[in-house]
Amino acid sequence: MGIHIPDSLVKVLLEARKIGVLTGAGISAESGIPTFRGSGGLWEGYPVEKVATVEGFVEDPELVWRFYDERRKNIARAKPNRAHIALAEMEKHYDMWVITQNIDGLHLEAGSKNVIEMHGNIWRVRCTSCDYRGENREVPLGEIPPRCPKCNSILRPDVVWFGEPVYGVEKAFQVARESDVFFVIGTSAQVHPAASLPYIAKDYGATVVEVNIEKTPVSIIADYVLLGRATEVLDSLLRRLREAWR
Ligand code: NAD
Ligand code: ZN
């Protein structure tokens, strides 16, 4: 049983040296963290422009922090799933980077070392006035909105909101250019610049492998489209690789 992994893909992976992986909300869905798509412009019940923009935050920091407090409660309960763990295992065999749009920190928790969190991390905070940055793992938050330990201004979540520049973009593009194989896992690949990465990888000669429960715009350029849940697909893939690594 399991997902069929073509022999030709196994061969490509056994010859590969550098691997890039782009992940989105879909890889964390099986950890119990809801994805965003298909929610009719609502993010867990909140209008996106209120809770994921600087304007929304300036207007009502308390509402935004209450929203993030709820998400933090949910993410605190979530554990890395077999897909996160499979990627951490693969990193031991390859020169590999995971580029994620997720803010849940589950790749790091699963043991991946080379992780670019393009949209930040929900456990980090930064000051809206001074240069303070730090970690805050309080669940639930003791004070809403939380205050800066240096200057007492309001802290914000260190996550990237709509219209803000993403983290690690240079490195992410470099990974896309240099990868022999580029995986796209659990992302609808519609938010740029992350969405351009599979196309760049393809242009620079990578074998592009998509893993998703349904087809996406990336499917057209992907060399392999493995339809199924991320845990099932990566389980099947890793089973094939382990046989060969033995
Ligand atoms: P998205 O919600 O737009 O798309 C999720 C994709 O995952 C879809 O293509 C869907 O078909 C696929 N999917 C769902 N379940 C799957 C499974 N079990 N296995 C494989 N694929 C599955 O997510 P996105 O592309 O990451 O973009 C949404 C934005 O929302 C991102 O910017 C991200 O920062 C943010 N977000 C993050 C989290 C998180 O940190 N876990 C959760 C929700 C949203
Ligand atoms: Zn400060």
Is the separation of the CB atoms in 158 and 133 below 8 Å?
A: yes
Tens digit of each residue's pLDDT (9 = 90 or more) over 71-98: 999 999 999 999 999 999 999 999 999 9
Q: Is 192 known to be catalytic?
A: no
- The candidate with the shortest Cα–Cα distance to 169, out of 179, 157, 177, is 177
To test the pocket of ligand 1, the residue of 21, 33, 36 to mutate (highest count of ligand atoms within 8 Å of its CB) is 36
* Ligand 1 atom 9 nearest Cα: 188
Is the CB of 28 inside a 6 Å radius of any atom of ligand 1?
yes
Catalytic-labelled residue, pool 4, 84, 93, 119: 119
User: What's the whole-model pTM score?
Assistant: 0.95
Buried b (16+ CB within 10 A) or exposed e, 221-239: ebbbbbebbbbbbbbbbbe
Query: Can you tell me the distance from the alpha carbon of 178 to that of 194, in angstroms, rounded to the nearest whole number?
Result: 16
**Residue bearing the CA closest to ligand 1, atom 39:** 102
Per-domain residue ranges of the chain: 7-32+80-119+166-245, 39-77+125-159
Among protein residues, the one whose CA lies closest to atom 31 of ligand 1 = 101
Q: In this structure, which CATH number among 3.30.420.40, 3.30.1600.10, 3.40.50.970, 3.10.20.30 belongs to the domain 39-77+125-159?
A: 3.30.1600.10
Query: Ligand 1 centroid to 102 CA: how many Å?
Result: 8
Rounded-to-integer distance, Cα 76 and Cα 41, Å: 25
Domain 7-32+80-119+166-245 CATH assignment equals 3.20.20.110: no
**Percent of the chain at pLDDT exceeding 70:** 97
Q: Which pLDDT score, from 0 to 100, does residue 1 have? A: 65
